[in-house]
Amino acid sequence: MKVEVGSTLWFLLRDRAAVISAAFLLAVALAAVFAPLLTPYAAQGMGDPDLGSKFTAPGIKHPFGTDGLGRDQVARLMFGARRSLSMGVLVVVAAMIIGTPLGLIAGYLGGWVDEALMRVTDVFLAFPPLLLAIAIAAALGASYVNAVAAIAVTWWPWYARLARAQTLSVRERAYIEAARGIGVRHRVIMRRHVLPNILTPIVVQGTLDVGTAILVAAGLSFIGLGTQAPYADWGVMISDGRLYFLSGRWWLSTFPGLAIFLTAMAFNFLGDGVRIAADPRLRRVL
Amino acid sequence: MALLSIENLTVEFNTPFGAVYAIRGIDFTLRKGEILGLVGETGCGKSVTGRSIIGLLDDNARITAGRILFEDVDLLRLSDAAMHEVRGNRIAMIFQDPATALNPLFTIGAQIMDVLRAHRPAKRGDLKTDAMSLFADVGLPDPAQMMHVYPHQLSGGQQQRAMIALSLAAEPDVIIADEPTTALDVTIQAQILDLLRVLQRERSISVILITHDLGIVAETCQQVVVLYAGRVAEKGAVEAIFAAPQHPYTRGLLAALPRPGSRGSDLQVIAGAVPSGLERIAGCAFAPRCEYVMEICRGQQPAFSDIKQAHQSACHLHETFADA
Amino acid sequence: MTALTFLLRRLGLSVFVFIGVLVLTFFVSRVIPGNPAALYAGARPRPEQVAAIKVKLGLDKPLPEQFLVYVRDLLDGDLGESYHSRRSINTDLSIFLPATLELVIAAVIIALILGIPVGVLAGAYPGSVFDYATRLAAVAGVSVPSFWLALIAQFVFFSTLGWLPLGGRVSRDISLFYPIAAQTGFYIIDAAISSNWRAFFDALHHLILPALVLSAYPLGITIRMTQASMLEVLSETYITSARAAGISQRVILFKLALKNAIMPALTVVGLSFAYSITGAFLVETIFSWPGVGKYVTEAVLNVDFPVIIAVTLVVTIVYILVNLFVDLLQALLDPRVRLG
């Protein structure tokens, strides 16, 4: 897949769902980055209790209400976005950093190296998603960083396979053959000539995957293997509110759940838009 | 007697780059019981013409003008349901690559029975007998076994015979054959063309044979329509046109035809390229490549002039000759 | 490719993957943790407990030897003992695994029964309102966090409408007065074969909500894949030739095209299964469903590492078998593989 940036952008802008999604994600990202400036309850966002205003229902002072420790849920959500979004992005980036070079080397060298790598990815992909991540996170101990590491370790095979497939299609091109012909070393060819040519589709795929990564990370946090108190991400907030949910304190779990839902949906719509815009064969569908 | 008349048929495709003109107004007539060759290079609109007749254009295609009269009924004005009655029953189609035109997951027998069932509800036993007799008619060996055979188990020639059997199932009056032999070996080609001729003679089926190969036309057809860039360049009886081609494009095509005894260097090729479908063409579409091009050719589209009865050509040269 | 070579290659691959999974889980349980013995001994272990575990698991021996011990125990069918409950994990799993499988299979069936026809129709009429609505639903299905959807579903169908029970596999009075005779461990099946219809309907009643929630993600995947596969099949020449032969739209969509579209769509069976299992790990606790998901989430809270590793291994083996089954089924349905 060769991505033409100009025409891709043009088709993307015609896709209303993708444009709205991008705007939404930008807003969420800004809210996360500038959270301390945007809320008067920054300290509560980072975990400080305010026991005087426990379980306040949504109102003017607290639009999304407060939790059992009296913390403003808007602030919690904005600070939670920092964790949830960063987990999603870090998982994908880490998985790409592990997977891309392996896939590149396998695709470039071929032979038994290639065969070995593909069989290793088979083994990783034989686990139902999340399950292996739970085991690894449990082995490493529950924490934000370990959760990211655990998911990334189960996720790299996808990028390894994509990088390998892209390398196979690039490897036979004339300039690579030429470089090999004049005796350029393999390592240099891989880094200078192959890598830049396979990077775009991998980065596109990675962008699409962030939504799913956020969902999985929220899942790990929900069962207690991710972000630890006093901090919270959206998965932890749903988990914290769960016990009160059916007894009238509906706002505790509802808003963080909506946040994950809408963010994941936005990544999906944006992803579909990018995929269609980047692939001329799919454009007719629009 | 005219069975099928195409009048001023014009088809456009919507694409991200704007409208592409696939057919720029063509006219021709198919008479009962004859084989008409529709010839031209890739992209000249011959397949689109076939698809327009049977009403199976892609979603992004639009018929912007013209009529398709079948027994004096305009097919373009028929409802979907009425057109559905025409397909298979009155007009059938066979395709270039039989390997992709047959469903890989159903037996040949199941596929032909589906067609039979669609057109005349009957008892299963009858359908089976009919199916087997159709297989025999198109020269497939062991019709009983054919009922249980999947497409991939047949050779290319046998697949095309099966496809022809399918198209015959509902006893249509017209078969549109879109490059039916292009994907086949030369010897098999001849057999399939023979089969089409036999069917035409014995069942008095009319055939529109879409091809890029003038050799096939010479062997198989009675009438020929030469298309260039979505327009008719020349049309008429095969003998007349092969004996005395009038349009410079037809002459070029005939000259490019390899003949027995000709060496490679003798092959003539027409210089230049076909105009893109995105262009509007004011004059003669062939003007940029024509060795006889005149001032008038670039500005005015040539009308048809009768050379003789049943032989017409769209070229300004004829008018010049007529004036002289 | 003949059927036999396909079968042998596929089986060979499964065996290889199985061995790989053993190695990987061994690695996760013995090499990744800083002190595996402490992890196996649970939260706040006493030193003599750690020492005992070290000897029992052979952790004082070199890694290759440890691996042999690990494999030998598994081949003996010994998955170890839960630190927390001191019960044999084998016994626990024999109760919890059928509960999860019942739930997961119900979710897969819902996903396929709803997803395939919807995907077929959406693929058949691209650009229609139905197509857009379907796409939206499919994206929503794969974007919604299952554990949140579970809470919302409980709020709507239990708290507000009162149509469905909050959780559990059967009502308390049913388990007291009409106990289900355990045979397969699938309550629906066990109740049906013992003609215990009261329990059957009660179990079904309890199954609906969690199964629906779990089916959201696989449903989204099924719709997307069926629709994409249908779009591709409908552009094939054999569909045009069927149209040209005058075959009706109904036969074309639901007989000719569906059979072709379902071949790649069959892979969604495996995927649906995988995602339902993933979902089960997150929502079983919410529905008090006594399955392996609840077992594992409780193990996470209790730092009950042997349970986590055992469940990972067993569930993955089930998943490998499901994928093997789906692949063989696919081969069986395709005449080009079967007869080629």
Give the H/E segment covering residue B19. Answer: strand B18-31
Note the pLDDT of residue A152: 95
A24, A279 in Cβ contact below 8 A?
no
Is C240 within 8 Å of B56 when comparing Cβ atoms? Answer: yes
Nearest-neighbour CA in chain A from C149: distance (Å): 8
How far apart are the CA of B41 and the nearest CA of chain A, in angstroms? 24
| Burial environment of residue A26 by CB neighbours within 10 A (0 to 12, 13 to 18, 19 or more) | exposed
Confidence tier at B322 by pLDDT (50, 70, 90): very low
Assigned token pair, C269: 């069976």
Query: Residue B324: pLDDT band by 50, 70, 90 thresholds?
Result: very low
Over residues C279-283, mean pLDDT:
91
The helix-helix angle for A131-140 and A144-171 (nearest 10°) equals: 130
* Angle subtended by helix axes A195-222 and A251-278, to nearest 10: 160
User: Pick from B103, B115, B170: which is nearest to C238 by CB?
Assistant: B103
Q: Is residue A282 scored above 80 in pLDDT?
A: no
CA atoms within 13 Å, Cβ hemisphere of C69: 15
H/E run at residue B67: strand B61-70
In this complex, the residue of B107, B152, B167 whose CB is nearest that of residue C245 is B167
Separation in Å, CA of A107 to nearest CA in chain C: 21
Matching residue, tokens 């409980």? C154
Residue B17, chain A, CB below 8 Å: the answer is no
Note whether C316 contacts A131, CB cutoff 8 Å.
Answer: yes
Residues of chain C in contact with residue A268, where contact means CB-CB under 8 angstroms, are 139, 142-143
Say yes or no: A135 contacts chain C, CB-CB below 8 A.
Answer: yes
Which of A120, A139, A253 has the CB atom closest to C32's CB atom? A139
Q: Which amino acid, residue B54?
A: I
Residue of A153, A158, A139 whose CA lies nearest to A94: A153
Chain C residues with CB under 8 Å of A226 CB are none
How many CB pairs below 8 Å do chains A and B form together?
A: 4
> Structure tokens of B322?
């007529």
Each residue of C253-281: b (16+ CB within 10 Å) or e?
bebbbbbbbbebbbbbbbbbbbbbbbbbb
Q: Tell me whether B260 touches chain A (CB under 8 Å).
A: no
Interval A150-164 mean pLDDT: 93
**Rounded distance, CA C72 to CA C298, Å?**
27
DSSP-derived 3-state class of residue A16? helix
DSSP secondary structure letters along A204-270: HHHHHHHHHHHHHHHHHHHTTSSS-TTS--HHHHHHHHHHHHTTT-THHHHHHHHHHHHHHHHHHHH
Q: Would you call A238 and C152 a contact, using CB atoms and an 8 Å cutoff?
A: no
Q: Taking all residues of chain B, what is their mean pLDDT, rounded to a whole number?
A: 84
B16 at A interface, C-beta within 8 A: yes
Q: Where are the beta strands (DSSP E) in chain C?
A: none
**Burial level of C285, CB count in 10 A (0-12/13-18/19+)?**
buried
C321 to each of A180, C18, C221, how far by Cα in Å? 45, 10, 21
Tell me the nearest-neighbour CA distance from C322 into chain B, angstroms. 24
Predicted structure pTM score? 0.81
| B163–C243 C-beta distance less than 8 A | no
CB within 8 Å: A257 and C152: yes
Token pair recorded at residue A276 = 């269609």
Question: For an interface test with C, which of B60, B83, B96, B105 has the most C Cβ atoms less than 10 Å from its Cβ?
Answer: B105
How far is residue C266's CA from residue A169's CA, in Å, rounded to a whole number? 28
Distance of CA C18 to the CA centre of its chain: 17
Q: Which amino acid is at B96?
A: Q
- Which residues in chain C are contacts of B92 at CB distance < 8 A? 244-246
| Interface test with chain C among A28, A84, A123, A221, by most C beta carbons within 10 Å | A123
> Tokens 């003996």 belong to which residue?
C76
8 Å CB contact of A129 and C278: yes
Segment C286-301 shows an average pLDDT of 90
Q: Does C85 touch chain A (CB under 8 A)?
A: no
How high is the pLDDT of residue B35? Answer: 93
How high is the ipTM of this complex?
0.87
Q: Is the pLDDT of residue A284 over 50?
A: no
Tokens of B118: 């669609």
Out of A95-109, B187-201, B234-248, C257-271, which region has the weakest mean confidence (pLDDT)?
Answer: C257-271
What mean pLDDT is reported for chain A?
Answer: 85
A283·B16 Cβ contact <8 A: yes
**How crowded is residue C130: how many other Cβ atoms within 10 Å of its Cβ?**
14
Measured between CB atoms, which of B95, B105, B115 is closest to C247?
Answer: B115
pLDDT tens column, C164-195 = 888 888 887 877 777 877 778 888 888 888 88
Question: Is C339's Cβ below 8 Å from some Cβ in B?
Answer: yes
- Chain A residues with beta carbon closer than 8 angstroms to that of B60: 284
DSSP C184-249: SS-HHHHHHHTT-HHHHHHHHHHHHHHHHHHHHHHHHHHHHHHHHHHHHHHTSHHHHHHHHTT--H
Most confident of A143-147, C127-131, C255-259: A143-147
Task: Please give, rounded to a whole number of angstroms, the shortest distance from the CA of B9 to a CA of chain A.
Answer: 25
* CA count, 13 A, side-chain hemisphere, A47: 8
Q: Which of B62-76, C34-48, C306-320 has the lowest mean pLDDT?
A: C34-48
Calpha distance A217→C104 (Å, rounded): 22
Verify whether the Cβ–Cβ distance A139 to C28 is below 8 Å.
Answer: yes
Q: How far is C175 from chain B (nearest CA, A)?
A: 49
**What is the structure's pLDDT at A6?**
63
Size of interface B-C (CB pairs under 8 A): 86
Is the Cβ–Cβ distance between A259 and A74 less than 8 Å? no
Record: contact B60-A284, CB cut-off 8 A: yes
For residue B152, give the chain C residue with the closest CA: C336
pLDDT at C1: 56
The residue count of chain A comes to 286
The Cα of B194 is separated from the nearest Cα of chain C by a number of Å equal to: 22
Q: Hey, which residues 223-242 in chain A have their CB within 8 Å of chain C?
A: 223-225, 235, 238-239, 242
- Expressed in percent and rounded to 5, the helix, strand and coil fractions of chain B are 40, 25, 35
List the Cα angle C303/C306/C308 in 5-degree steps: 70
Burial C43-53 (b: 16+ CB within 10 A, else e): eebeeebbeeb
Which tokens sit at B236? 């008429």
114-173 in C: which are within 8 Å (CB) of A? 126-127, 139-140, 142-149, 151-152, 154-155, 158-159, 166
**What amino acid occupies position C18?**
F
* B307, pLDDT greater than 70: no
Between positions 252 and 281 of A, the ones with CB within 8 A of C are: 253-254, 256-257, 260-262, 264-265, 267-269, 272
Among A186-195, A200-209, B116-125, B259-268, the range scoring the smallest mean pLDDT is B259-268
Q: What is the pLDDT of residues C74-119, one digit of tens each?
A: 888 888 888 778 888 988 999 899 999 999 999 999 999 999 889 9
| Residue C246 CA, distance from chain mean position | 43
- Neighbours of A, requiring at least 3 CB pairs below 8 Å, are B, C
Q: What is the pLDDT of residue A243?
A: 86
Which residue in C has a C-alpha nearest to residue B107's C-alpha?
C335
Q: Is B14 on the interface with A (CB under 8 A)?
A: no
- Cα–Cα dist C225/C237, whole Å: 21
Q: Are C235 and A285 in contact (CB under 8 A)?
A: no
Kindly report the length of chain B: 324
The C-alpha atoms of residue B29 and residue B3 are separated, in whole angstroms, by 8
Going by C-alpha positions, the residue among C96, C276, C87, C93 that lies closest to residue C169 is C96
Q: In what order do the strands lie in the sheet with B18-31?
A: B18-31, B2-15, B61-70, B73-74
Residue written as token pair 């979505």: B230
Nearest to A260 among C21, C148, C312 (CB): C148
Poorest-pLDDT segment among A175-179, B195-199, B243-247: A175-179
CA–CA min distance B88, chain C (Å) = 4
Is pLDDT larger for residue B98 or for residue A266? A266
Give bridge partners of residue B228 from the DSSP assignment. B231
Amino acid present at C322: V
In the DSSP assignment, the letter for residue A70 is -
Alpha-carbon distance of C9 to C337, in angstroms, equals: 13
Greater model confidence, C330 or C285: C285
The answer to whether residue C259 neighbours chain B at the CB level (below 8 Å) is: yes
Residues of B in contact with A14 (CB under 8 A): none
Residue B36 banded pLDDT, cuts 50, 70, 90: very high
Say which residues have a Cβ less than 8 Å from residue A135's Cβ, sequence separation at least 6: C25, C28, C29, C308, C309, C312
What are the tens digits of pLDDT across the range B52-68?
Answer: 999 888 888 889 999 99
Buried b (16+ CB within 10 A) or exposed e, A62-82: bebbbbebbbbbbbbbbbbbb
